[in-house]
């Protein structure tokens, strides 16, 4: 009986799932949100119940300790040594890692070195790694990188058309993100297609952060996020792709600093910036229904950006066997899926099954038999991928 905990330490949060890996059963799951504030929120689910409490959680160290104390207090585990493995989601692995690895001092040094490429994430990841290592020294630890899946991209898809020495000397290139989700979802689609020898799949991971990936024969061929998660489609508060000279214009004409501009692009743009309402698609849709034209415009831009990438990747791959929608918007916003598919239906021969799209639940096919491309909704499960890699690498 091997228990493994999958950990995702964000800039101000700590998500977790504890698995019994013999049957991949989730024993408990939850999140500590608003770390660093007096009114942090700790939510935990176990035995079919959900508990939430508000309390001060100054740092990620306290968040880890709160989680571990609760596991003992609630008798979810009898002793912390019952947890044999800890799998850590790491946003940025650079070009160092093309797969998950057992964590040692060299791995931690490389994660630290890559902090400039993911300043909001790699630092907290390291804090989480060290905190769990101190609390459960007997447990093995594994790093699962968001960028690893995308290391299979050919150079023509990850080298930027700027002076080449910026790539060779400073590692400035496309790395992508959401790789664990893209891997899990594309593998599920391959299974659903009957495990063909060759397959071309487009995965649309649409959430607060969003990215699309062209997956060729089970490997990432191209992806929409870049050096950082700021590139690609429009997101909740990120602008995605824009003319690079907008940065210079804002600096020269608006007197904004580099930090202010990047903060605007990351936290004040996207659905929030265009709609003026919210970065949450549900709120934006509600405002659009009430006649808010900016909210409606935000939805249209979002959908068009996704369409742009589906079109690009369709031509890159030559043909597409399946498209999969996943993550918060991809799994739950039937109107977004409908609008996107309607925009590409004539060009692709996609025939939507309106009932399956609107009324179906969970993992499912949402196109009719005559559709030239199958379209699926696949709930992502990054934590399960993390737990599986941890079990495999630690031989548990």
Q: Are 366 and 353 in contact (CB under 8 A)?
A: yes
Distance CA 140, CA 145 (A): 17
For the chain, what is the radius of gyration of the CA atoms? 21
Note if 146 is an active site residue.
yes
Q: Could you give the C-alpha distances from 251 to 244, 245, 257, in angstroms and in order?
A: 12, 10, 6
Helix (H, G, I), strand (E, B) or coil at 366: coil
Question: Cα 57 to chain center, whole Å?
Answer: 25
Q: Are 167 and 159 in contact (CB under 8 A)?
A: yes
3-state secondary structure string across 4-51: EEEEEECCCCEEEEEEECCCCEEEEEEEEECCCCCCEEEEEEECCEEE
Q: Could you give the C-alpha distances from 31 to 8, 16, 221, 250, 253, in angstroms and in order?
A: 9, 6, 33, 37, 42
Helix (H, G, I), strand (E, B) or coil at 226: coil
Helix (H, G, I), strand (E, B) or coil at 130: helix
Q: Which of 69, 98, 104, 146 is catalytic?
A: 146
Q: What is the DSSP string of 257-288?
A: -HHHHHHHHHHS-HHHHHHSS-SSHHHHHHHH
Q: Could you give the C-alpha distances from 141 to 107, 124, 194, 196, in angstroms and in order?
A: 11, 16, 34, 34
In sequence order, the β-bridge partners of residue 202 are: 214, 323
Q: Are 21 and 103 in contact (CB under 8 A)?
A: no
Which residues are part of the catalytic machinery? 146
């Amino acid at each position: 009986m091997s228990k493994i905990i999958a950990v995702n330490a964000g800039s101000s949060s700590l998500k977790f799932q504890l698995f019994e890996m013999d049957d991949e059963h989730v024993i408990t799951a939850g999140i500590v949100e608003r770390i660093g504030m007096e009114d942090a929120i700790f939510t935990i689910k176990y035995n079919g119940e959900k508990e939430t409490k508000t309390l001060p959680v100054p740092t990620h160290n306290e968040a880890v300790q709160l989680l571990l104390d609760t596991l003992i207090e609630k008798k979810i585990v009898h002793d912390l040594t019952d947890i044999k493995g800890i799998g850590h989601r790491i946003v940025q692995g650079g070009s160092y890692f093309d797969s998950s690895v057992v964590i040692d001092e060299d791995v931690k040094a490389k994660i630290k070195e890559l902090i400039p490429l993911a300043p909001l994430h790699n630092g907290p990841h390291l804090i989480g790694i060290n905190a769990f290592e101190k609390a459960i020294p007997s447990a093995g630890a594994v790093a699962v990188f968001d960028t690893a899946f995308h290391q299979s991209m050919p150079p023509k898809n990850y080298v930027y058309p700027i002076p080449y020495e910026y790539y060779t000397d400073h590692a400035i290139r496309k790395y992508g993100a959401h790789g664990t989700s893209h891997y899990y979802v594309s593998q599920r689609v391959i299974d659903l297609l009957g495990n063909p020898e060759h397959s071309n799949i487009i995965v649309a991971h649409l959430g607060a952060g969003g990215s699309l990936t062209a997956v060729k024969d089970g490997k990432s061929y191209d992806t929409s996020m870049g050096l950082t998660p700021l590139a690609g489609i429009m997101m909740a508060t990120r602008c995605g792709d824009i003319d690079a000279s907008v940065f210079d214009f804002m600096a020269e004409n608006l007197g904004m600093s580099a930090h202010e501009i990047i903060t605007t692009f990351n936290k004040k743009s996207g659905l929030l910036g265009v709609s003026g309402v919210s970065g949450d698609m549900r709120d934006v849709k509600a405002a659009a229904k009430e006649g808010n034209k900016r909210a409606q415009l935000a939805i249209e831009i979002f959908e068009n950006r996704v369409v742009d990438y589906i079109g690009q990747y369709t031509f890159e791959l030559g043909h597409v066997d399946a498209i999969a929608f996943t993550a918060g918007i991809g799994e739950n916003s039937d109107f977004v899926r409908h609008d996107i598919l309607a925009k590409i239906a004539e060009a692709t021969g996609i025939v939507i099954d309106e009932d399956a799209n609107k009324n179906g639940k969970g993992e499912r096919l949402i196109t009719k038999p005559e559709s030239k491309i199958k379209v699926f909704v696949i709930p992502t499960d990054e934590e399960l991928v993390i737990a599986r890699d941890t079990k495999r690498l630690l031989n548990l």
